[in-house]
Amino acid sequence: MDENELRELQERAHRIRQLQSGPEWELLCDYCSTVINAKNRHLLNGNAKSIEEYRADAGWISGAMFVLNAADHLDQQLETQIQLKAEYDAAEAGAL
């Protein structure tokens, strides 16, 4: 990842953290949690009419959870990229 891509990743992570700090985020999380819990109950009670319905609901739940945890995912990705860059820079400096 080059400097521009790292900077874009940092900016994206910052913007998502800003979204999470507003009251609208709490409303979104509350709504999604309600729907996630309902879909989980539906699946756990064996109410899916087909494997396709089960997969669709499970995929929806997984996607919703990913969105709700997007900032954490970005933070982990950013931390990994910063660490890799530091290691690369150290290796480059040692090669000189």
Nearest to 68 by CA among 25, 34, 38: 25
Tally of structural domains, the chain: 1
- Give the sign of the dihedral formed by CA 8, CA 13, CA 21, CA 33: positive
**Per-residue model confidence (pLDDT) at position 96:** 65
Nearest to 71 by CA among 23, 9, 8, 28: 9
Q: Quickly state the pLDDT bin for 1 (edges 50, 70, 90).
A: confident
Summarize pLDDT for 67-89 with one digit per residue, the tens. 999 999 999 999 999 999 899 88
Summarize pLDDT for 15-63 with one digit per residue, the tens. 999 999 989 999 999 999 999 999 999 999 999 999 999 999 999 999 9
**Helix-, strand-, coil-residue percentages of the chain, each rounded to 5:** 90, 0, 10
**Per-residue model confidence (pLDDT) at position 94:** 82
Boundaries of domain holding 56: 3-95
Q: Quickly state the pLDDT bin for 95 (edges 50, 70, 90).
A: confident
Decide if pLDDT at 6 tops 80: yes
In 21-50, which residue ranges form alpha helices assigned H by DSSP?
A: 23-44
